[in-house]
Amino acid sequence: MKAVVITELGGPEVLQLKEVEDPTVGDDEVLIKVAAAGLNRADAYQREGGHPPPKGCSPYPGLEVSGTIVSLGRNVSPCSPWNIGDQVCTLLGGGGYAEKVAVPAAQLLPVPESVSLRDAACIPEVACTVWSTVFMTSHLSPGESFLIHGGSSGIGTFAIQISKYLGIKVFVTAGSEDKLQACKNLGADVCINYKKEDFAARIKEETEGKGVDVILDNMGGSYLQRNLDSLSIDGRLFILGFQGGTTAELNLSPLLAKRLTIQAAGMRARSPENKAKIVKEVEKNVWPAIVARKVKPIVYKTFPLAEAAEAHRLLETSSHVGKLLLIP
């Protein structure tokens, strides 16, 4: 088959389409003929050497795909929920930038009837990440308030939609008026241009000094203090990225005074059992919103698999809203 290979660590130009061996299919896995692969910021980190695939995972980049099942591992009987010919989308430990990929059957999700096979590739990574972090872990609930940093990102565009579906008041940050408008169109209530104003001051003003219940943060160190200052009593901060660095000097007093919780987690290194549990929760809680067309995949641009380098260049300019896809 053909796959995008990281020929050496470096810039987008190191991504090259090559002829490689077909994946071997484990006993509990299925083989998927890929229809589309979603891009994630983590793919660029892997290309640079900062986010290696977990042991046993494909060395090729790509954390999510949609496609059609073409064979079943020995333990995946045709009586299981899955059979040859089924259209699915799935989280991966790697290997999505390819014509075929093998994945544990327990990580599969059906393509929702409201979504095309291609566009379904946008959903698994953002849905599983957002649901497992702010909902399963931080217990973000209807009636609460929620600040999403990077509201126009792949993660952000999904987080806005699922939160509005669940009756949550949504605040977002983004770096341009166009991106803020896109967030507003998806339902965000309060849109803050972090390049023009201090988000912490605006949150204080908008919430009459109370702060928000939950924050989903992609920045890490550079936003840590201001995030704590922006949380309400019993507030929860979930950190899922370090675009603003991994270190910070911190005044701990808001933690004690407001009984705050700080949490962080990555999706890729979780065990297959843990991923399967998250996938089940996502199917139960998120799929109905997608089927009802209240949550839609936001596709910014598609590229042929051979143009993965071009797709990474666009990802790194950060001029997109939503998701980029590669099509084999």
Ligand X SMILES: NC(=O)c1ccc[n+]([C@@H]2O[C@H](COP(=O)([O-])OP(=O)(O)OC[C@H]3O[C@@H](n4cnc5c(N)ncnc54)[C@H](OP(=O)(O)O)[C@@H]3O)[C@@H](O)[C@H]2O)c1
The footprint of ligand X (CB under 6 A) covers 40-42, 125, 129, 149-150, 152-156, 173-176, 179, 194, 218-219, 240-241, 243, 265-267, 315, 318
Closest separation between CB of residue 293 and ligand X, Å? 22
Neighbours of 1 (CB within 10 A): 15
- Distance in Å from the first CA to the final CA of the chain: 10
Do residues 139 and 281 touch, judged by C-beta distance below 8 A? no
Q: Which is nearer to ligand X, 58 or 157 (CB)?
A: 157
Q: Which is nearer to ligand X, 87 or 137 (CB)?
A: 137
Q: Which is nearer to ligand X, 152 or 230 (CB)?
A: 152
Cβ-count burial 62-79 (b if 16+ within 10 Å, e if not): bbbbbbbbeebbeebeee
Closest separation between CB of residue 189 and ligand X, Å? 17
The residue assigned the tokens 């896809």 is 325
Q: Which is nearer to ligand X, 165 or 242 (CB)?
A: 242
Give the integer Cα–Cα distance in Å for 138 and 214.
7
Closest separation between CB of residue 216 and ligand X, Å? 8
The pair of structure tokens assigned to 149 is 């940093």
Closest separation between CB of residue 154 and ligand X, Å? 3
Give the integer Cα–Cα distance in Å for 221 and 9.
25
Neighbours of 265 (CB within 10 A): 13
Closest separation between CB of residue 99 and ligand X, Å? 23
Closest separation between CB of residue 80 and ligand X, Å? 27
Give the integer Cα–Cα distance in Å for 199 and 135.
23
Q: Which is nearer to ligand X, 124 or 211 (CB)?
A: 124
The pair of structure tokens assigned to 294 is 């209240």
Distances in whole angstroms, Cα of residue 186 to Cα of each of 116, 164, 165, 196: 20, 9, 11, 22
Q: Which is nearer to ligand X, 30 or 326 (CB)?
A: 326
Among candidates 94, 107, 100, 93, which has minimal Cα distance to 67?
A: 100
Closest separation between CB of residue 84 and ligand X, Å? 30
| DSSP annotation string for 146-157 | EEESSTTSHHHH
Locate the DSSP E strands across 267-315: 299-304
Q: Which is nearer to ligand X, 157 or 207 (CB)?
A: 157
Closest separation between CB of residue 287 and ligand X, Å? 19
Closest separation between CB of residue 174 and ligand X, Å? 4
Query: Residue with the closest Cβ to ligand X?
Result: 241
Q: Which is nearer to ligand X, 26 or 94 (CB)?
A: 94
Q: Which is nearer to ligand X, 106 or 267 (CB)?
A: 267
Distances in whole angstroms, Cα of residue 40 to Cα of each of 4, 135, 190: 15, 21, 26
Contacts of 193 (CB under 8 A, 6+ apart): 173, 174, 175, 176, 177, 180
